[in-house]
Amino acid sequence: MQKDTLDLNLLLSRKNDQWESSKSVLTYFANPDEVLFLQDTAAIIRNISFPFNFYSDIPNKTAFETSKSSGDLYKITNDSLVDLIATYFSDSDLSQYLLTTKNFTINYSENVLMKKYRLKEININYLINSAFFKDFEMENYYAIFSSKVKLGIFLIGKKIKSNINLMKLIEAEFARDDLKE
């Protein structure tokens, strides 16, 4: 669970970066003629392409599965805690949400970005000349993506809090057991 917390914090950081990138791209759509005058074309390209990266939640279930199969999990006498641990490791809401967002992105990439702009790599001059920043479908993608990422950020934060609270309960349970011995 400690490894999960580290992984979730890294995922949260990446999703926050994606959200910031998508917000930046939305400002380009709001002012498409000003994109020509932006100096940092590398940042523009990064902001355009970053939302097309995929990040997944891959829970670390090895210790849980091992403790379940060895019977060690059931040495915990607090049945509610065992249920909370099992629920934590069976909860796939975040993973499913990230997969849904990935599928949305793939669909948009294949059906809008690649068909309209035939991009193999992003070239800022090509995008400016092709009216990319005046394309409602692309603006719509970034707006929807931005809201999906924001919800993903919320779900990641919720899972981190759940993980931390559960670890505290487990530590408290072990502390009680230590006092008994």
- C-alpha triplet 33, 34, 39: angle, nearest 5°: 135
Tell me the mean pLDDT in the region 106-117.
80
Residue 62 structure tokens: 């090895």
Q: What pLDDT does 140 receive?
A: 92
Residues 26-72: tens digit of each pLDDT: 998 998 888 767 777 888 888 888 888 888 888 888 888 888 899 88
Is residue 181 scored above 70 in pLDDT? Answer: no
Burial of 99 (0-12, 13-18, 19+ CB in 10 A): middle
Which of 69-83, 99-113, 135-149 is most confident? 135-149
Residue 179: predicted pLDDT: 47
* pLDDT tens by residue, 161-175: 999 999 999 989 888
The Cα 92–Cα 65 span in angstroms is 16
